[in-house]
Amino acid sequence: MIYNQSLALLTDLYQLTMVHGYWKAGLAMRQAVFHINFRRWPFKGGFAIAAGLDTAIQYLQELRFSESDLAYLEGLDLFEKPFLEFLSTFKFACDFDALPEGNLIFPYEPLIRVKGPIWQAQLLESPMLNILNFQTLIATKAARICLAAHPDPVIEFGMRRAQGIDGAISASRAAFIGGCESTSDVIAGKLFGIPIRGTHAHSWIMAFEEEEKAFEVFAKMRPKHCIMLIDTYNSIEGAKKAIKVAQSIPNFELSGVRLDSGDLAKLSIEIRKLLDQAGMQKAHIMASNELDEYLIRDLKQQGAKIDVWGVGTNLVTGKDQPALDGVYKLAAIQNEKGEWIHKIKLSEQTAKVTNPGILQIRRYFDGQFYTADAIYDEILGIQEPATIIDIRDPNRQMEAVGHPTDLLVPIFRAGKLVYSVPSLFESQALAKNELTRLPPNMERFTNPQPYLAGLEKRIYQKKMELIRKVRG
C-alpha cells in the first residue's frame, strides 16, 4: 500500500452509522448485493476504460480497523462500545466480482459487484467509489488523448497540477492503462514500473548567461535521451542553437527538442525543416502546453510535425469533467428465508432509477466489432438470443448478434483472493485492443454514435414491475 497505515476510516461517516444501525437491528449478517455504475458518458464521448481494480484489491486485502481507528471512533461519542468491539473483528468475507482493468465500460453497467453481509458490503461504498471513479475517469481521458495522438507516443506530464499526492500517483497509473507511453512522475515509476521520461525546465536555461551554454552543459550531462527545451526566449533561435551544440559534441545524437508555447503547428513545421537540413531526421519534436485530445487533433489536421506529446493538467485532472458520476447502490437482499429480493430506488429522473438484481454484463462480438451489451440478472437468468432494451430510450431495442462473453469475473470469494492480477502492461495492452473493437463512429470526440448497453428483456420487465409496485 502507498500509505503505511490502516485506511479503514477512508469512508464517509454515514457508512459507519448505517453499519451501526444494521448491527443494532440484527441485520448485519443479512446477505446483500451492491453494484457500482456510472450514468453519464465521460467527456460526452462514446466509451470509458475501467481502471482502479488492482488498487481496490490492495485496499481490501489490507482492510481492518486498527486500535487507533477504534480509539478515534470511541472518542466521537457516537458508537456503543460493543459495536466498536464488533468492528474490531472485521475480516473481509464478501464475494467480489469486477470488470478487469482495461475493458471498455458503458453507462449503467456494473464496474464491480459486491455480495456478502450487508454491514461489510455497505462499508465498501465510499472507498470503492473513491478508487474506481477517479482511475476510470483518467484512464478514459488518456485513451481519448492517445487516440488523437496515434501513432505518436503520449507522455503523462501532470504531477505538479494533480489533486494532491494520491491524485498524482493514481492519475499516472490510470493514464498508463489508458495508453500513455510513460510518465514524468518518478514515484509512479517506482511503484508501478511505468517508464519515466523528462527533459528540463525553463529555469535550467535561465540559470545560465547564455542559452547555448545551457544546452551544451545539459547535452554533455545527458549524452543519451537528450531532449532540449527551446522556447525560453525564441523557439526558432533556440532550435538553431540546440542543433549547433549537438553538432559540436563528438558522437552525440540529439534525441529531440521540446516546444511549450507559441503556434505549435507553425513552429514545428519550421523546426522540422531545420532538423532535417542538419541531418537530424531522427530527432523528435515534442510538444506540451495545455494539450488535450481536441488540440492534438487540430494540430495534426494543420500538418504539425510534432511526434511526441507531453500532456499534463488536462489529463490528470480530467479538466473538462473532473469527476465520474459513479454510484454504489443496493440491488438485492435476502429475506429471512434466504430468498433473494430485488430492490430498486426510484427517482423523478429516469436516469437515476436503479437496476435491480444480481447483475452481470454479457458482451457480443461479431468478429470485428462489439455489437451490444446486455445487462442481465443472474437470479432471473438470460435467454438467447437476448433482447436488449436501451435504459434511456425503451423504444430502442435489438436482438443480440455475435459471440457472447460475460465480463464480470470473480476477484474474491468469501474474502479470499481468487484472481490472478495482470500486470499494468497487460491491462494497457487490453485497453488498446478493446478500442480496436469499438466502431470508429463510437470513438468520435464530438457526437459519437452511442453504443447499446441496455437491459436484457427479463430484468427490464422485472424493473418495470417493481416501479409499478412501489408507485402503487
CATH assignment at residue 169: 3.20.20.70
Residues contacting residue 308 through CB under 8 Å, at least 6 positions apart: 152, 153, 155, 256, 284, 285, 286, 287
Is residue 120, in this structure, part of any structural domain at all?
yes
Label the pairing between strands 284-287 and 154-156.
unpaired
Q: Which of 265, 290, 316 is the last residue of a domain?
A: 316
State the residue for C-alpha cell 511526441: 308
Q: What is the pLDDT of residues 372-418, one digit of tens each?
A: 999 999 999 999 999 999 998 999 999 999 999 999 999 999 999 99
* 278 shares its domain with 346: no
Shared-domain flag, residues 178 and 309: yes
Same domain, 355 and 264: no
Q: Is residue 466 part of a domain?
A: no
Distance in angstroms (rounded) separating the CA atoms of residues 459 and 377: 6
- Domain-ending residue, one of 266, 286, 316: 316
Whether 59 is in a domain gets the answer: yes
Residue 85 sits in a domain of what CATH number? 3.20.140.10
Which of 38, 153, 21, 143 lies closest to 430 in space, CA to CA?
A: 143
Domain count, the chain: 2
Assess if residue 198 is contained within a domain: yes
Residue 184, phi then psi, degrees to nearest 5: -90, -10
Distance separating alpha carbons of residues 463 and 406, to the nearest angstrom: 21
CB atoms closer than 10 angstroms to residue 387:
18
**In this structure, is residue 467 part of a structural domain?**
no
**Do residues 134 and 23 both lie within one domain?**
yes
Which of 316, 333, 351 corresponds to the end of one domain? 316
Residue 326 lies in a domain: yes
Based on the domain organization, do 292 and 236 belong to the same domain? yes
Containing structural domain, residue 178: 143-316
- What is the block-wise mean pLDDT of the chain (472 residues), using blocks of 10 residues? 75 98 97 97 97 97 95 97 97 98 98 98 98 98 98 97 95 98 97 96 97 97 94 98 97 96 97 98 96 98 98 96 96 96 91 95 98 98 95 93 98 98 98 97 96 97 95 85
275 assigned to some structural domain: yes
Say whether both 170 and 287 belong to one domain. yes
